[in-house]
Amino acid sequence: MGTSQRWAVVAVDLDGTLIHGTTACLHLGAWIGHRAVIEELERRFSAGEIASADIADGDAPHYRGRSIADVAEAMHQAPCIDDIHEGVEHLASRGVDALLCTVTWTFAAQCVADRFGFSAVSGTVMHVDGDGVLAGRVARYFEPEDKVAFLRDYCESHELSMHEVVAIGDGQSDLPMFDAVGFSVALNASPAARAAASVSVDSRSFLDALRAVPGLLED
């Protein structure tokens, strides 16, 4: 693809992509004390035995009564890759929107978005009681295929084409959006994601993933 291509949106996965070597649910599970439950649910999801909705149903009750403010403090300790803020700033300077496109909890994704400057997030929604307290019940499920619908809705509302979208991810849940966008980067990814992506990158720097996209960070 030539450098004349105009990019308008970069959609980035969270678990295993921006959060390195783990997932938001595992990280928060260790904080709450039910990591073993999440490990088994995610193992079964990776094996194709259950859907992401089943992970949400098994995980949700453990958050009952916990505040989003406490979750945000815990998420600040998640092991993220380097140069995320710098990468988002570079994109913004070029008029490119950065989105978090994930199936995990939106309250966890929003914590990362607020920290690094992402414009919007997708994900599974939990009911929230008054004063920002999590209710421990799923309000809306979100499957990998819903990432594509999220991106299409965003593009339609901003009068953009899906061909102007770059997707960055690492695993099975990213394959639908890889197939739907103009360019895709498999970052520290599984064999299936590498095979589906336009290009593969192994790095702990978000900037390296962005530099792999022709014309994205070039003046």
* Average pLDDT of the segment spanning 9-33: 96
pLDDT in tens, 80-91: 999 999 999 999
Question: Going from the N-terminus, what domains does the chain have, and what CATH number goes with each?
Answer: 9-211 (3.40.50.1000)
- What are the φ and ψ backbone dihedral angles of 68, each rounded to 5 degrees? -65, -30
Q: Which two tokens stand for residue 155?
A: 């593009």
The pLDDT assigned to 42 comes to: 86
Q: How much is the pTM?
A: 0.94
**For residues 11 and 97, what is the distance between their CA atoms, to the nearest angstrom?**
8
What confidence tier does 46 reach under pLDDT thresholds 50, 70, 90?
A: confident
The pLDDT assigned to 219 comes to: 57
pLDDT in tens, 199-213: 999 999 999 999 999
- Give CA torsion, residues 203, 204, 205, 206, to 10 deg: 90
User: Residue 87: exposed, middle, or buried by beta-carbon count in 10 A (0-12, 13-18, 19+)?
Assistant: buried
The pLDDT assigned to 182 comes to: 97
**Taking all residues of the chain, what is their mean pLDDT, rounded to a whole number?**
95
The pLDDT assigned to 4 comes to: 54
Residues 29 and 35: beta-carbon distance below 8 Å: yes
The pLDDT assigned to 31 comes to: 97
